[in-house]
Amino acid sequence: MLSLNDITVDIQNSRILRGISLAVGAGELVCLVGRNGAGKTTTLRTVMGFLTPLSGTITFNSQPLPGMPTYRVAQLGIGYAPEESEVFGDLTVEENIEMPTWTRPRGRPALERVELAYKVFPKLRQYAKRGGTQLSGGERKMVSIARALALDAPLLLLDEPSEGLSPAIIPTISEGIASIRKLGRGILMAESNVHHIPDYADRLYVIERGEIIFSGKPGDVRTRPEVMRVITGTA
């Protein structure tokens, strides 16, 4: 589905990504873990076309992505929920979730896509008429992920879905992500806190200073003390 091979990215003459390689298959939850500033968001933004790599390849279902406008990447079927959530304040929850059905009309019927988003996050139904500015951080995060799901995309990129949220709302987010995975969607999720990585994750990559320093099963990383020191901030 998604493949990054030896991706290098500079921002303002600074090397941010150094030879990043990773892959996400259909129905997989793949986690990219690293400290703040390690390169997680840059990786996701490069996939989405906000940044162009200096070298390397990115393909989605064998389609090369570098140089493609962001809206075209979304139309191909990659949904993106950024760390800041970026819910449209002038729109209601209902309108925020419906928006991808306007911008990517092909695929399943719009009503079916919206209903699926509410099924994954049923709490949003009671807030359907509420404006985006009236939402808590956790509610905005749910709307952001639900909106990406309503794109009817086979692949979702989720940037720090649990960051800064109340411990009470994190299980709801995790349950929603589990539901999306069960639908057969691929998920690439960036997280700075290794303890937020779900037990059902298929694969884990650890990024540090723009380089992948670990790739494997989530449980295996705990047997690597040198890697754990990096991602817990004790190195």
pTM > 0.85: yes
The answer on pLDDT for 2 being more than 90 is yes
Question: Please, which residues bridge with residue 212 across strands?
Answer: 207
In single-letter form, the type of residue at position 169 comes to I
What whole-number distance in Å separates Cα of residue 172 and Cα of residue 153? 21
Instruction: State how far the Cα of 178 lies from the Cα of 198, in Å rounded to an integer.
Output: 9
Helices (H) and strands (E) in the chain, counts: 7, 10
10 pLDDT exceeds 80? yes
Given a cut of 90, whether residue 210 has pLDDT beyond it is yes
Q: Which domain holds residue 30?
A: 2-231
What's the pLDDT band for 135 if we cut at 50, 70, 90? Answer: confident
Q: What is the mean pLDDT of residues 19-35?
A: 94
Q: With 80 as the cut, is the pLDDT of residue 165 above it? A: no
Smallest Cα–Cα separation from 50: which of 82, 22, 19, 85? Answer: 82
Task: Kindly tell me if the per-residue pLDDT of 225 is higher than 90.
Answer: no
Can you tell me the mean pLDDT for 84-90? Answer: 79
Q: Which DSSP helix (H) or strand (E) runs through 149?
A: helix 137-150
Distance separating alpha carbons of residues 37 and 24, to the nearest angstrom: 22
Which residues neighbour 211 within 8 Å (Cβ) at sequence distance 6 or greater? 18, 19, 20
Alpha-carbon distance of 80 to 101, in angstroms, equals 14
More confident residue, 208 or 169: 208
CATH code for position 145: 3.40.50.300
> Could you tell me if 193 and 35 are in contact, meaning their C-beta atoms sit under 8 angstroms apart?
no
Domain count, the chain: 1
